[in-house]
Structure 1
């Protein structure tokens, strides 16, 4: 018999209670308007999946105009976005699901075409190693860095005003928060770079500003989460020891930690002698302090139980929620046989998947989406980075 303790309520340290331990992962829809406003397609997509998970994380929203990382990206950079963001929070709140807005700045993981002729920016003027045609960004000056920190604060204010229950700082997948911490992308010699401690200054400043905004504007429990990539594969680059150091520095300043990886069974990609799962190693640094969200190819109740047994307090489900919007409801009702573990291309409209997102799934995630017309053995992300982690994978 499958144990389902993950369906019990969970309480955060700040008092926010979610109805179960299941989180819907932040997933790119690529379906916002050209200026970052929410579309009806996106609202329908989230509404179809609301009501089951304890909380849902939106696809990422940029906090600055020059922080846009891809076309069709949600924005929280201006007050005129509030009307649409309020509709989004309301759609997610169906049947008590909590709504978390994920926010970021893409940094060098953008290009001048996406930014309408403007050069991308980063900690240093160093191009990313992948994709191969990455543009060399312009190094941010001190005033610009301070402005982006302020932009994160303003984005948080808008999330509060729109009715969200929290924000998640996307410090993973090689975006700007990670770019400042990584020696691969930050080779500054001023106060914003140099030693590991100095490279931590930018994310710490963002967290501080966001918390100040929450204290000023939120009249209800409001979460500040942080998403982190455990490792980088470049040299120089972030290693597991760096990330654990990072977590120790921020864990008293955030409400939860969310890992970003394609498989919950993953071990270190850089140290083959380290056989322990990444979840278990991060859990040793967070247990009893803040909740840890485990993630990666979670499909079944058994996967959820395994991730929680490994140290995850909450478990995020991504691709399976695309295939099966009613996953939680079906598990709760012991209707396991009806859960979709594959997806037919002809069913994607019925599943309220926006048309642009359908194309994205076919082009970038075909081998791991379990499409019924895929004759190949399904690929695993256990021993490799996934496309959403910043790796440009050729399908």
Structure 2
């Protein structure tokens, strides 16, 4: 096919039928108690199985990794069994699915941690809010309190939790995992000078600030294989207290080191720019020079912008976020230039099947792309 969006792509041992990615999208619909994925979640992801690759929503590696209400985990037997429903449904529909795993660090609240103080690289408060739900499942945005700095001895157990979460994800049937090192969460907090002011081996120099990311990546890759290990970064996003002047050089050094480790891909969450800025192209060219492996980009892409990005050779796959929420059959709509359903932002976080399973499709996904 001449359409660049629909050229197959080899991602390690997995053949993707197109270059369209469903990125990790927090929807806050895990069953309580226990933050367990359900049959409703399985139906949601199976509806979107015509994506070249699905990366399932950010998932807690441990109970104390949580940063938002009603997000799923992958650390209990019940959660693993719940995710197995999801992966079975996606695979039966012909799809491929990775799981994004995270620790939210300071972007959290004591109410989500059994009343204990949140943690971070340094005792620097996050200048923003997180979504917190009440007993009725309805929620709102709440300020994040001051975290405490992790002791050096506390870091290795978190690395071990990432490793265990990756193994659990494979046990649950995922094709791989994505390490969340973007968007102001714990690993990103270690990467930035604005949130990491440590004086031990995890702070100060670029080498030290990269240490936690590389330890997590090495642990996960050793457990499940580098070809099943992706990493998400967001060096050009400077909001939410992350305006580190060294973020781009740090990310480029990270990319070079991750390429040597043979990771499956790098996934970049970019600022929403339409048209793209000069800085976007400059960064991608710098990135390609140090990371020739697969690159995914996300950032309010239109179909035309996605095709231009793929044609440049600077990226390999393009993720569509809000468009995938509202359009389960997004690939065929992009292929045929068909109108898109508008997303209902009031149903993004929490709730039931409304705004989750009821967006209309034009026809069954797999028949449309046969």
TM-score tier after normalising by the smaller chain length: 0.7 to 0.9
CA drift of 1:53 comes to 0.8
**Equivalent-residue separation in structure 2 for 1:275 and 1:202 (angstroms):** 26
**Equivalent-residue separation in structure 2 for 1:357 and 1:238 (angstroms):** 43
When normalised by structure 1's length, the TM-score is: 0.78
1:48-96 deviations in whole A, cap 9, x for unaligned?
212x111101110010211101001010122332110111111222442
In structure 2, relative to structure 1, the CA distance for the partners of 1:168 and 1:11 (3 Å cut) is same
Query: 2:8 matched to which residue of 1?
Result: 9
Structure 1 position 260 matched with structure 2 position 258: no
**Conserved? CA contact 1:156–1:214, under 8 Å:** yes
In structure 2, relative to structure 1, the CA distance for the partners of 1:274 and 1:321 (3 Å cut) is closer
**Conserved? CA contact 2:191–2:247, under 8 Å:** no
Structure 1 position 80 matched with structure 2 position 89: no
1:217-244 deviations in whole A, cap 9, x for unaligned?
xxxx952100001232445555322222
Alignment of 1:37-56 (within 5 A): 37-50=36-49, 52-56=50-54
Q: Secondary structure at the match of 2:160?
A: helix
Structure 1 position 68 matched with structure 2 position 66: yes
In structure 2, relative to structure 1, the CA distance for the partners of 1:183 and 1:45 (3 Å cut) is same
Match of 2:232 among 227, 246, 253: 227
Match of 2:329 among 326, 329, 338: 326
**Equivalent-residue separation in structure 1 for 2:309 and 2:126 (angstroms):** 32
Query: 1:173 matched to which residue of 2?
Result: 183
**Equivalent-residue separation in structure 2 for 1:57 and 1:239 (angstroms):** 24
Match of 2:100 among 82, 102, 107: 102
**Conserved? CA contact 1:67–1:107, under 8 Å:** yes
**Equivalent-residue separation in structure 1 for 2:124 and 2:343 (angstroms):** 40
**Equivalent-residue separation in structure 2 for 1:274 and 1:5 (angstroms):** 24
In structure 2, relative to structure 1, the CA distance for the partners of 1:239 and 1:222 (3 Å cut) is closer
Q: Secondary structure at the match of 1:200?
A: helix
Structure 1 position 138 matched with structure 2 position 148: yes
Q: Secondary structure at the match of 2:229?
A: strand
Alignment of 1:192-231 (within 5 A): 192-215=202-225, 223-231=228-236
In structure 2, relative to structure 1, the CA distance for the partners of 1:155 and 1:309 (3 Å cut) is same
**Conserved? CA contact 1:264–1:295, under 8 Å:** no
When normalised by structure 2's length, the TM-score is: 0.83
1:107-155 deviations in whole A, cap 9, x for unaligned?
0010112223111111111112334943111211233211110000001
Equivalent pairs counted in the alignment come to 338
Alignment of 1:13-24 (within 5 A): 14-24=12-22
Query: 2:351 matched to which residue of 1?
Result: 355
